[in-house]
Amino acid sequence: MEVELAEKFFSRALSMAPQDTNIMDALADVQIQLGESDKAVQLLLQSTSIAPSVNPFKWLFLGQLQSEAESVKSYRTGIELLTSLLQNESEADARQLLSKQIAKAHCSIVEIYLTDLCYDEDAETTCEKEVASALALCPDSLDGLQTLASLRLSQVRKGEAAKIISSVFDRISHIRQVVSARTVVEEISGAAEPPEFQDLPEMEFSIATVKLLIECASEDPLLYSKALDLGSSLLDEDEDNVELWYLMGVASLGGLSPCDSNNNTNNECNNSTNNSNNNTVDLESAQEHFLRAQSMMDRLREEAAEQEGPDAQFMYQEQYELVQEHLRL
């Protein structure tokens, strides 16, 4: 309700000052929160046209909402403007914040070239350059390190990726422990937050960490346990996250394929079993997680069909089919 009221407030303010880019940026931020991406893009395009160097962060928001080459162009414009601010900033905390935002923008460009622009002939070179720029700015950046792990995985350098993502997990675990150790008394008394609070990753980032731990676990089976550890703590915060339940099921299998998990005696299936991972397998937990994921996916599928019709595209279709394979439904 507060967000809807904010949209009405800023819309009215903009009607009174139609060239005020600060109001445009604020309204665009509210519209992003409401899921009105198309409206936000139009406002941000208008704002960047009127005052391109005012509030350079808006270029990063625009980059998030665009795709492919347009997105890269916006990110690079934002990086250029923020770098100029960084060079003229003397206050340490402000410099650190700017450095983190610039590094994160470099990482966003890498993600685009690893996905939408992966067939670009300069994709790999661009990725190496951008991730190097991110880590040069913030050597201990979780964004930079996790992006580097993704890049190494895409280059089939899984051993390197495994070591990097394991270190990311260790950092996240430490940060989460520090945050959870903060007592109620400390919060009420207004005691200063430890610096780790500023580094606590968002849910989406941590879910990506779980995915990478699983993808790299063929190099180090202990990464399955790390994926389960992080995934479990994330479920404590959001037990309605269907993707997490699915990933927890995959991690519980410890590398077994669907045919292995169902005791299939087919030779081809049996040959795919990685015996070195057997100590990480928990078939009962895997089934529980998959059943929970399936139940949630069924509900989401029904809701999508009611809202968009029977032919509505289901965003979890691939995971749904894999869950059914594992459960043999």
Q: What tens digit of pLDDT does each residue of 266-324 get?
A: 444 444 334 444 455 778 888 899 999 999 999 988 888 888 877 777 888 888 888 88
Nearest Cα neighbor of 126 from 140, 142, 112, 144 is: 112
- Helices 123-137 and 92-114, packing angle to 10 deg: 160
pTM for the whole structure: 0.85
Q: What is the mean pLDDT of the chain?
A: 88
pLDDT band at 260 (very low <50, low <70, confident <90, very high): low
Task: Return the amino acid letter for 247.
Answer: L
Per-residue b/e over 48-71, b at no fewer than 16 CB within 10 Å?
beebeeebbbbbbbbbbbbeeeeb
pLDDT of residue 270: 40
Alpha-carbon distance values, 16 to 10, 13, 182 (Å): 10, 5, 45
pLDDT of residue 268: 41
